Structure 1
Amino acid sequence: MTKKLTILPPAHPLVGKVSPPGSKSITNRVLLLAALSQGTSRLTGALKSDDTRYMAEALRAMGVVVEEPDATTFVVTGTGKLWPPEAPLFLGNAGTATRFLTAAVASINGTVVVDGDEHMRKRPIGPLVAALKSLGIDAEAPSGCPPVTIHGKGHFGSGRVEIDAGLSSQYVSALLMAAPLAKTGLDIALTGTEIGARGYVDLTLDAMRAFGARVEQLDPATWRVEPTGYTAADFHIEPDASAATYLWGAEVLTGGTIDIGTPAKAFTQPDAKAYDVIAAFPDMPEVIDGSQMQDAIPTIAVLAAFNNRPVRFVGIANLRVKECDRIRALSTGLNNIREGLAEEQGDDLIVHADPALACQSLSAEIDTFADHRIAMSFALAGLKIADITILDPDCVGKTYPAYWDALGSLGVNFTQG
């Protein structure tokens, strides 16, 4: 494994064509929905990465046939139900797989343990466990984080459940996707209207309907799901909008032209909202609300270092409970490049922009905290500043295994250590 990677700033605009991988968010949703369906589903354009491999392996462990005929396709054959696995489900640091499966396995007649690596064991899941328990499901997570133990009764809970989604929209998506497995209908309600990245719930609803679910939105904070189960379907997965942000960022930083094959307005994922902000570089706004494009904030924060004016990022408290504390990781990395470049004020991040950073040589090692998004975003700084070194660069395998190759195809060179 590569321990360090130093980017050599290109002396030319980056020009070329790069196809981002399939959406992680959509791939892990439709993998689960296909597994819960009766029949065979063909999922094309899929992401093959650490996160989706964990999901696929977990589904196989529960009796689902998951075939991979090529690099971007899953063929999933299910019976409409999952079976108890022989061992705990290990999901690495895959938040989507962990949250989604914690709810789905409650439909199993038996005991399932959902677990992850040392990083996942620090990521909160208490609100989801509390919601499951309120439905009469025997679930426990003593630390408030994985591992979670679920003693299922062969079907999901019915009636009404309330969920605090302030920390993550994935809790809502998890309940929504499991709800069609109930014996009778289920109402899912927020304990307030606050929800992190509501657009991802819309993504979930669209995917559910593609596999035959019937969902009605009763009001902005309540959904009613009918007990339809799921029916197999073929589904094409769009490219990953979060991955696209790095390429959009590389384009504006170097004055280049990078064709990613999909217009920004064609994306349905929330992070595509970042395109308009990135396109405004080097005159991005002084205040950026990241609440509805959370995974794009690391990209934009690194770009902000070269902006014409300082930028305050608000609405990003949820970044503290991602793969790492991303607010701290961003401020640490930026201040390693130059002390005072960033500061935290509560859960806001302020980047004190300085366009003069470009073309300087500022030796800095960036601790990625094993977080793929920190590695990929800080690589952008290395396009303009000499001697930027990314530690643990292989962590990009979580969602974009070919990231370094993609930059290389555009003419970016590296030294490895």
Structure 2
Amino acid sequence: MHKLIKIDEKIYAITIYDQKTRYFEGIWRIPEGITYNSYLYLGDEVNILFDTVKRDFSKELIEAIRKVIDPKDIDSVVIHHMEPDHTSGLKDFLEANKWSAEIWSHPLSLKMIKAFYKIDVKFRSLKDLETINIGDEEIRVIHTPWLHWPETIMTYMLNRRILFSGDAFGGYSIPEETTDKILDEGYIRAIRKYLATVIGFYRPWIIKNIEKLDRLHIKPSIIAPAHGKIWVKDPVKIVELYRSWAEAEPINNKIVVIYGTMYGGIENLVNEVVSRLSEKRFNVIVYSFNEEKWDCFGDILGDILDSKLIIIASPVYEGKILPHIEYLINLMTRKTDSPKEVILISSYGWSKVGGKYISKLLEGSKFRVVDIIEYHVTHDPKILDRIVTTIDSKSEK
């Protein structure tokens, strides 16, 4: 399924709905789905397609293009990012185009096109900050490395003030409304999850590249990303959201609680902690791994980005901790590393090693362990008081 809308007198947005991919990049569970956006500029002198699509959907892309123009009449294809979810449909498009279009992209992209798809193409290498005249419009090229591959670029239409941003400023989900004219908290969470999982490792580069856009005085009236909603109403909002999450700015009363349990023992303590914290008007977000369900790693990483404090609870398991909690901690240090305070809770039967093991996993990261609470089999009520007191003292800072 796809949607075709006009975002400008001469520009169409083509949004492809992907409800088939359950694990984005083969890693991140996305029951919310994802979209792929391509943009078609019909100019006085040149017709340009901005990005293609995943090959599974190349027929849909070509079908959408044919509603407004013959694919043979497209002169150029801008590739902002070589990842296959945006380029594996390139060959199919070029066949429909009779191989007449020239590819415009980062200098690194030509070798990648040949390596990925074994095709020879007409190619124009785009230099950082060069300006391309296309008749009634000029396009500024901005190299934006590591958002989230080294060859990533953005392009900016100077007269229309439209920024084609590639993966940056995108998000998961298949929103009913293609633009940000309707915006809800669910979509904000989907963007945050996307940033954490896809670009989280490169968060410093988000800041660097936003600062670069600021230095270039790029003030778009529209931000057109490769995934998710197109920002036509309030493009400043998505830039500021990305900036705040890249900096892991905390919401003061937000606490993320993550726990794993085999038979419900540690869950009892967590439930009591959550109840006490909720009474104190903390915004507590709870994620669990138990016999009935596992919460989504990507959702957890997204919530960590703007949390004030994190509680991690796991029983000892085979002299360590539960494997999926260990995996999550590894993801945290890789994708959301930030100076947030962490309380560790571990129950044990015969070996008091869980707290020390989790502390070691966090060594070298920016996360700060502020308390380690370990107890034998069942918790004493004093432990609950200790946890709440620790959180109270931290929240006052």
Could you state the TM-score of these two structures normalised by the residue count of structure 2? 0.28
Structure number with bigger Rg: 2
Could you state the TM-score of these two structures normalised by the residue count of structure 1? 0.27
Higher relative contact order (CA 8 A, sep 6+): 1
